[in-house]
Structure 1
Amino acid sequence: MKSAVETLNPTRVRLTVEVPFEELKPSLDAAYKKINQQVTVPGFRKGKIPARVIDQRFGRGAVLEEAINDALPKFYTDAVNEGELNVLGQPDVDITEFNDGDELKFTAEVDIRPVIEIPDYSGIEVVVDAVEVSDEDVDKSLEQLRDRFASTTPVERAAADGDVVVVDLEASVDGDVLEDGLATGVSYTIGSGQLLDGIDEAVIGLEKGGSATFTSELKGGTASGSQASVKVDVSDVQERELPALDDDFAQLASEFDTLEELRADSRKRLERMKSYDQATQAQEKVLDALIELIEVPIPEKLLKDEIGTRTHNLEHHQFPQTGLTWETYLEAEGKTREEYDAELEAQAVKGIKTQFILDELVNKEKLSVNQEELTEHLVRRAGTSGMTPDQFAQAVVEGGQVPILVGEVARGKALAVVVEAAKVTDTNGEPVDLDDEEDEDGEEGAGTGAAEADADAESAVETADAEDESAKA
C-alpha cells in the first residue's frame, strides 16, 4: 500500500491511497466466507459453496463490494498512521479507481488537529476580586440562617407580605380546567417569588377561607407559555416568627455556645467561599488570557457538529424537561435567535480552542493522570450526575468513557500549571497565592490548595470541552 497526504488547510487533509489487488485477498476470502454463511445453493452444503458458484449466482461485484467495505477501514487507518495524523471525526471516502484484478485507489478527506505552538505563558497577568468579607455580609448570612429556623403561627387576620399561606390552586385556559392545573395544600411564603407571577397581589389582604382569581403565564406543564386564569383559595394564614439573634439561637443552629463564636465561624466560612470563587475566577481569566496568546484554527465540520449537538440537546432534552419552547426560552433569556446562535458559536469555538490548547500542554509538559486523581475526579463527577460513585464508574466503563475522564483530569492539570506560572493579583493590588496552604487551624484553605486548584481547573475545562470523543476515528 502507498499513501500520500495533501494539506487542504490547517485543519483538513486529503489522503490518496493505492492498494495492490493482492493486499485485498484476506478481505476477499472473508467476503466469500461471509456470503457462504448467508446463502443456500441447491446441491451444496451451507458454507461449502465454491467461490466460482457464488460469482455465477450472486455476481463477482457483490463479493468485491463486500471485500472493499471490509478492507477500507484498515487501509485508511494504516494511511493515517503512516502520515502520523491526529484525525478528528469520520473521513469522507471516495473510491477513485478500481477494477477486478487491478489496484484499488481511494481518497479520504478528514479533519485533523491543527499544529499548535505553545508560547511562553509565564508572563500572563490577571486581576481577580479581593477576598473581603464585610460585617454586612456576615449579618446577611446570619439572617439567612435565622430564616431557616423560622416558626409559623396561624393567625386570624388578612395575609400580609412575609406571611405563609396554605392555598389550593386551579388553573384554566380558555375556560377549561387543566388536568395538571390543580394543586391542594400548597404552602407559600408571600413575597418569595417561588410560585406563579401575580399570586402575591392576589392573596395579600385575603383571610382564611378567602379566594381570588388572577391571570398568570404558566411556566411548565401541558400548557406551558399560555396565559391561564388561576383561582386561589386560602385555607390558612400563618405568621412567620424569626428566632432572636442571641446565644440561645447559636446553640440551636450550630455547635457553638455563643453568638460571637457563630458570627466568627460565619465570617470564616464566607472567606473560604470567596477564596474558592477567587481561585475559580483566576483560572477562568488565565484560561482566557492563554487562548488570546495562541492562534488556533478551528475545523469547520467539528464546529458545525458541536453546535448541532448543543442545539439538539437543548431542543430534545432541556426543552421537554422544562416545558419550554424556542419562543419562551428566548423570551426568558432576553435574546433573539440570531443573538443566541452567535453566543452558541462563540462558546463552541472557545471550547474547541480550550481542548486543543490544553491537550497540547499536556503533551508539552508530559503530564499524566494516576489512579488516585482519576478516582477523585470520578467521585466529583458522580456528585453532579445524581449517581453514586459506583454507579457512575460502572456507567463510564460500560460506555467506554474512561479516556474522556482521563482527558478532563489531564487538561485540568495543564491549566493548573499555567495558573501557577501566571501573576495573579487582586483588586487591591495584593498578590494572590494559589499554592497549597493551611489555615491557622491546620485545615486546608478552601479552593486555594494545589489539589483544589487542580480540581477547580478540571471543572473549568469540563464545560469548555467541545470535541466529541466518540467521533474520533
Structure 2
Amino acid sequence: MPSQFEQKENRVAYLNIELPAEEFKSSLEKAYQRNKRHFQVPGFRKGKAPYQIVVNHYGEGILYDDAIEYAFPAAYENALKEHDLRPYSEPRLNLVSISGTDGLVMEARFALKPEVKLGEYKGIEAYRPKVEVSEEEIDAKIKEAQNKVARQLPVSDRALEKGDTVTIDYMGKKDDVAFEGGTAEDFDLELGSNTFIPGFEDGIVGKNVGDEFDLTLSFPEEYHAEDLAGEEVVFSVVVKAATFTQVPEIDDDFVKDVSETSDTVEEYRAEIRQELEKAGADQADRVYERNIVEQIADNSEIVMSDFLVEDDVEREIQHQIQQFEMYGLRYEDFLAYSGQTLEGVRQQMMPGSRKNLDLAYTLDALDEELALEVTDEEVEAMIVKLAEQSQISVEEYKEKYLEGKEDSRDRLEHQVRSEKLLDLLREWSLATDVEPDHDHAHDHVHDEHCNHDHDHDHVHDENCDHDHDHEEDEE
C-alpha cells in the first residue's frame, strides 16, 4: 500500500495514500454488511439482496462513505509509520479517486510539530503586578468565615425583613386563570434576592409567618414570555415559615472557633493578611511568568500550522457545549440569544488560541534547549506537593494517579522540569511594576474559562491549558 509524503509551508504534512482495489473491496463489503438491512431491491426481501445486486441497483457510491470509514484509519496509521511521522492535528481529508475496480486514493493533510527558533530569553524585562492587601479585603475574608459558621434560626416574633429566607406557597393568575410557571409549593425564597418580578419580594417584607395575602403586580414589558410581558397578574401567597441568618460577633471566641493558629482578633487579621499576600504573590508570579514567555515568544520565530489553532478552538467549543448540556441548555440557543454565530465564535477565539499555542511551544523549545535534569528526590517532592494539594496522603495519591499508568513518571518529570524552567526564567528576568499597554497585553488572551490541555498551563490564562504532549517528529 504505497504512500507519498511531502512537507509544505507552515509545517503542514501532505500524505497521498493509495489503497489497492483488492484491499478496498473488503471495505466495500464491510460497508454492505453494515447497511444491507436497509436495501430494498425488487425481487428480494428487504435486506436479503446480495452485494453485487445492491451495487447494480443503487450504484457503488452508496457504500463509499462507510467504506472510507473502514479503510482510512488503518491506511493512515500505516502511512504514518512508513514515513515515521507524528501528527499534531486531526487530518484534513481530500478524496482523490475511488472505485471498486481501481481502489481508493486519498490525500491527508495535518500539522507537524511547530518549529521554534528561539530568540533572546535572558535579561527579559516584564511586568509583575504589585501585591497589596487592603483592610477591606481582610474584612471580606472575615465575613466569609462568619458566614461559614453562621446559624439559620426561625423568625418567630417579628415581621419579615430583607435577608430573611421564607418558605411560601404561591399561585399566579392572569384574568383569574392560573398561568404556566406561576405556581409552586414550599418554595424557599431569600427576600431581597430579586429572584421574582419587581414588587413580589417587597410585598412579602413586613408580613408575618402564617399570613395569607394577594399581590397585584405587573410583569416587566421586556419579560421573555410574550403572553405575560407588561401584563397585570395577581399572586396568592401563603407564608409557611421563615428563617434568618445569625452570624457570630467578631471577637476572640469567634477567632478560636475559626482559626487553628490565632487566639485574638489582631492575630487573626495578621494571619489573613499573610494568606492574602501569599496568594497575591503566587498570582503575581503567574502573571510575571506569562509576560516573560510572551516576550520570549515575540523574540522568537514560530512556524505553526493553522490546523493546530483550528483544532484547539474546536476543542474549546466542544467543551463549552458540554458545559451547557450539563445544565440542560443548548449552545445553539445561547448563540441565538446573544446574537452570535458558531463561525463568529470560532473567529473570535482564533487569535487567543494562537497566542496560547505560541507560548506553549515556546516553553517546549526552551525545555528542549535547556535540557534540565530531574532527580528522583525532585519527583518525590512533587508527588508530596500534589498529594497535599489533593488533600490526600502520598500513598493514596500514588495509588489513585500513578500506579498502573505507563506515562505517569514522564508526566511528573515534565512537571518538575516546567517548574524549574519557570524558576530560571524569573531568575534571569527583571520585574517591573510598569504595566504594559492593555491592548498589546490582552488582545490575544483566551476567555478565562477556556480549557486546553497542556503541561505548561501555569503560564497561560488562569484556567487554560493546551494538549500537545507529542513526541518529536522524525523528518
Q: Which residue of 1 aligns with 2:369?
A: 364
Q: Which residue of 1 aligns with 2:253?
A: 248
Q: Which residue of 1 aligns with 2:296?
A: 290
Quick one: structure 1 residues 374 and 80, their matched pair in 2 at CA, closer, same or farther if it must change by over 3 Å?
A: farther
Shift, 1:266, TM fit: 1.9
User: What whole-Å deviation, never above 9, does each CA across 1:284-319 have from its counterpart, x for those lacking one?
Assistant: 333433333334344233333333332233235424
Distance 2:331 2:352 in 1: 21
User: What whole-Å deviation, never above 9, does each CA across 1:377-410 have from its counterpart, x for those lacking one?
Assistant: 9769978xxxx9589649995xx98699569737
Q: Which residue of 1 aligns with 2:147?
A: 147
Q: Which residue of 1 aligns with 2:122?
A: 122
User: What whole-Å deviation, never above 9, does each CA across 1:9-35 have from its counterpart, x for those lacking one?
Assistant: 12213356899x9xx99x99xx9xx99
Distance 1:70 1:239 in 2: 63
Over aligned residue pairs, what C-alpha RMSD do you find? Answer: 5.6
Q: Is the 8 A contact 1:416 1:457 kept in 2?
A: no
Give 3-state SS (helix, strand or coil) of 1:116's partner. Answer: strand
Q: Which residue of 1 aligns with 2:83?
A: 80
Q: Which residue of 2 aligns with 1:161?
A: 162
Distance 2:92 2:397 in 1: 36
Structure 1 spans left out of the alignment, 5+ residues: 39-64, 218-222, 430-453
Q: Which residue of 2 aligns with 1:306?
A: 312
User: What whole-Å deviation, never above 9, does each CA across 1:120-152 have from its counterpart, x for those lacking one?
Assistant: 212322222222223332233223323333343
Distance 1:330 1:270 in 2: 41
Q: Which residue of 2 aligns with 1:321?
A: 327
Q: Which residue of 2 aligns with 1:448?
A: none
Quick one: structure 1 residues 411 and 215, their matched pair in 2 at CA, closer, same or farther if it must change by over 3 Å?
A: farther
Give runs of aligned pairs for residues 97-112 of structure 1, distance below 5 A.
108-112=108-112
Distance 1:78 1:112 in 2: 14
Distance 1:461 1:239 in 2: 37
Distance 2:350 2:75 in 1: 34
- Aligned equivalent of 1:186, options 170, 177, 188: 188
Distance 1:377 1:98 in 2: 59
User: What whole-Å deviation, never above 9, does each CA across 1:203-250 have from its counterpart, x for those lacking one?
Assistant: 333332245476889xxxxx9xx9898876432344444332222222
Letter in 2 for 1:313: H
Q: Which residue of 1 aligns with 2:265?
A: 259
Letter in 1 for 2:281: S
Q: Is the 8 A contact 2:297 2:358 kept in 1?
A: yes
Quick one: structure 1 residues 309 and 96, their matched pair in 2 at CA, closer, same or farther if it must change by over 3 Å?
A: same
How many residue pairs get aligned? The number is 397
Letter in 1 for 2:364: D
Quick one: structure 1 residues 379 and 291, their matched pair in 2 at CA, closer, same or farther if it must change by over 3 Å?
A: farther
Quick one: structure 1 residues 170 and 462, their matched pair in 2 at CA, closer, same or farther if it must change by over 3 Å?
A: same
Shift, 1:118, TM fit: 1.4
Distance 1:170 1:390 in 2: 56
Letter in 2 for 1:347: G
Letter in 2 for 1:11: R
Letter in 2 for 1:273: A
Shift, 1:458, TM fit: 7.4
Quick one: structure 1 residues 133 and 108, their matched pair in 2 at CA, closer, same or farther if it must change by over 3 Å?
A: closer
User: What whole-Å deviation, never above 9, does each CA across 1:133-188 have from its counterpart, x for those lacking one?
Assistant: 23332233223323333343514443222333333466899955459x74525263
Give runs of aligned pairs for residues 3-14 of structure 1, distance below 5 A.
5-14=5-14
TM-score normalised by the chain length of structure 1: 0.61
Distance 1:373 1:426 in 2: 31
- Aligned equivalent of 1:351, options 350, 356, 373: 356
Distance 1:99 1:91 in 2: 23
Shift, 1:117, TM fit: 0.6
Distance 2:286 2:118 in 1: 23
Distance 2:423 2:124 in 1: 12
Letter in 1 for 2:80: T
Q: Is the 8 A contact 1:126 1:425 kept in 2?
A: yes
Distance 1:349 1:154 in 2: 57
Letter in 1 for 2:248: P
Q: Is the 8 A contact 2:382 2:416 kept in 1?
A: no
Distance 1:98 1:252 in 2: 78
Quick one: structure 1 residues 245 and 11, their matched pair in 2 at CA, closer, same or farther if it must change by over 3 Å?
A: same
Distance 1:391 1:336 in 2: 46
Distance 2:460 2:100 in 1: 54
Distance 2:143 2:462 in 1: 35
Q: Which residue of 2 aligns with 1:133?
A: 133
Quick one: structure 1 residues 240 and 213, their matched pair in 2 at CA, closer, same or farther if it must change by over 3 Å?
A: farther
Shift, 1:335, TM fit: 7.1
Quick one: structure 1 residues 235 and 259, their matched pair in 2 at CA, closer, same or farther if it must change by over 3 Å?
A: same
TM-score normalised by the chain length of structure 2: 0.61
Distance 2:100 2:321 in 1: 47
Letter in 2 for 1:270: L
Structure 2 spans left out of the alignment, 5+ residues: 34-66, 436-454
Give runs of aligned pairs for residues 336-415 of structure 1, distance below 5 A.
336-337=340-341, 340-367=345-372, 372=380, 375=383, 393=401, 397=405, 409=415, 412-413=418-419
Q: Is the 8 A contact 2:2 2:17 kept in 1?
A: yes
Shift, 1:467, TM fit: 4.7
- Aligned equivalent of 2:279, options 259, 273, 278: 273
Shift, 1:465, TM fit: 0.5
Shift, 1:112, TM fit: 1.5
Letter in 1 for 2:352: Q
The percent of aligned pairs where both chains have the same amino acid is 17
Distance 1:352 1:236 in 2: 55
Distance 1:97 1:187 in 2: 65
Distance 2:333 2:301 in 1: 37
Letter in 2 for 1:357: T
Q: Which residue of 1 aligns with 2:426?
A: 420
Distance 2:216 2:270 in 1: 48
Quick one: structure 1 residues 155 and 457, their matched pair in 2 at CA, closer, same or farther if it must change by over 3 Å?
A: same
